[in-house]
Amino acid sequence: IKVSIGGFAFVLDKKAHQVLDDYMFSLSEFYANNVSRDEIIAAIEERIAELLIERGFSNKLVDEFAVNGIIATLGTTDNLGNPYDELGTGGRRHLYRDLKNKKLSGVCAGLGAYFSVDPVIFRLIFTVGTVLLILFEFAPLFFPIVYLIMYFVMPPAVTAQQRCDMRGEPNSLKGIQSRIESG
């Protein structure tokens, strides 16, 4: 069965389609009274598509085993409890270059995600710092060298799990809901 998940086309076998359809229906029912319901469901679909693509199912048949693996990764509504409970983060953050929000190479965007601040702050620090050091003729290459070192040291956040780890949020339904509800 050909389906669109998170804006991407996939081909699922009948059993996989039924399992995924039941899963999405249970999520829809669970979030029925949540004001952010449509956004949460759309974000869950995007995460499902990301996980399917990462696991190599963009060009091959998605089977029931693959769908159950995605569900195991994200969790079920049984793991959530009340959707209005306070939701925590996934734990320890990891430093990655943020390729989704990059302007140059993702270093400043990754620092912004890691420290939970707007990446513009880091962009300004690097730009203004470089200009000031050039104007005052004091170590004019300091900031560009630091930027280059960070580029080579910080790995890129390629997978959905790495992007979640960068922000310290769980790669689960709880993490998606938390991110949507916090804006």
Query: For 142-181, what is each residue's pLDDT tens digit?
Result: 888 888 999 999 999 887 778 878 887 777 777 777 777 6
Q: What is the mean pLDDT of residues 105-116?
A: 89
In contact, 111 and 120? CB cutoff 8 Å = no
Cα–Cα distance for residue pair 8/78, rounded to 1 Å = 27
User: Which residue is it, tokens 């938390």?
Assistant: 178
Residue 58 C-beta-side C-alpha neighbours within 13 Å: 10
First CA to last CA distance, the chain: 34
Residue 23: alpha-carbon gap to chain centroid: 21
pLDDT number for residue 103 = 85
Closest to 39 measured CA to CA, from 31, 48, 51: 31
pLDDT digit string, tens, across residues 2-55: 888 888 889 899 999 999 999 989 888 888 888 888 888 888 888 888 888 888
Q: Return the ∠ at Cα 84 (arms to 80 and 85), rounded to 5°.
A: 65
Q: What is the pTM of this model?
A: 0.64
Closest to 77 measured CA to CA, from 164, 181, 160, 172: 172
